[in-house]
Structure 1
Amino acid sequence: MSSGTAGTGRRGRVAKAPEGDHPAAAFARRLWELKQRAGDPSYDIMRKDYGALASKSALSAAARGAQLPSWDTTWEFVRSLAVGVLGQDEHHARTQWRRWWDEAAVAVPAASVEHPPASPRTGRRGGWVLAVVAATATGVLLVTALWPRSGRLAPATIAEPCEATWLCLYRNTGFDDMNFRTQRQNACWRLADYHLQDAVFSYDNNLPITAHFHDAAKNRIGDIRAGDSSQDSSALPAAHWFCTGSARP
């Protein structure tokens, strides 16, 4: 993560802000403006250096405004720039952009929403779960990802497993009630912000680094090894902070 901006150069990028008043174009302008604030990195840099888990073509299309990108593509675009480049809080960025995406999705027809790929990425216990949701009184259907549906970082269900390359925390045993997930390394979070203080009952670490729990006094009280998972962590009593890698609260 960096609080600076990424380098620029001659690359295949959107040269000017998308035009038009329709919701997809207005949403694309938000993405385009975010990209400018982050230093206008290329889509290759967004993927290789800042970890955007979407194709170059999907990221590019998202900022053109011809159709509304899927929420998955949107979040990868936003996460790589708002969080990875500009250093914004992941939870706040997700909440804000999900609200904007939901507002745009209700206002555009299904044909103007990007459909997810036919073969989505899979984790150790499955892939993305998609559903068709009735969105307007006129019966227009929108294809949206079930995860996540609220402003919290990662509300989920047992049917929506922790993906490869993510680290996830759950309030219940058996990998149920996911309340937190991240790909960020060397960062810390306050568990109370995700309703997980003294309440982490299971976890799944698909990151290549160890993660650590700290109490209110910032003493380390528990670890999750790289690639480790547990269906019962006994609620990790006194867990107040959660950090990945070498970070400390």
Structure 2
Amino acid sequence: MTSLKRALIEKAGHDHGFEHTVSETGTAVTLGSARHPAKAEVSWAQQGYAMALVQGPATLPSELARSFADWPRAGDAYVAATDAQLAQWLHRAAVLAQSLPNQAAVDFDAQVQQALAALPTADSLSTEVQRLVRQRVGQDRYRQAMLDYWGGACAVTGLTLAPALRASHAKPWADCATDAERLDVFNGFLLSANLDALFDKFLITFSDAGDLLVSPQLSSPDRHLLGLDGALKLRWVAPAHGPYLAFHRDRFGNV
């Protein structure tokens, strides 16, 4: 690998979520970050760049496989023919590593402490203030994780208008036993505002295959006005969504 190629790889990493060079050899550069646990090894060959994960959340490989299903592979490595493709792969790997469990929960604890430290001492010691801060910070962190995981687009319609998107919980915040559950990116979906309102009230839910299920409480005219006439379904469903979807369908069936 030439010094120019090494510099291009390091710059791509720095600009797209892997700001540190962990190690390098004559043929590859290993990139990492202080913001997430993933590490990626990038090498250069005649056909272009080869990118392989060497560390990261347990679900990251399967999520990358979904995101880049049509990309050529060389063993465990993905092959990118251009600098733009290299940047695309690094960016997706980084945002997934930041959103997948349990990185969101780790970030949440640090952000809560920062928010409390910015308050007057008397206020920060109040149990109610701490509860409100944890809820506000947690909801913000969950929304960002959902935006990252779903690529800023509604999990059903693909809508990318951020002000109209909501981070919906399948198992509601108040019913979660731990912060890890509350912040789990698989505990819900990024939905357009109308779908979020219905999902939040258990008037719609999804099958394990991602098909939209609509409550009989919604009349045919209401379904039409809400845009539920078509065969809507989730863009994808990961296995880790399963337990949360089962919880949501149970409540859906008892509304």
| TM-score strictly above 0.5 | no
State TM-score, norm by structure 2: 0.26
State TM-score, norm by structure 1: 0.26
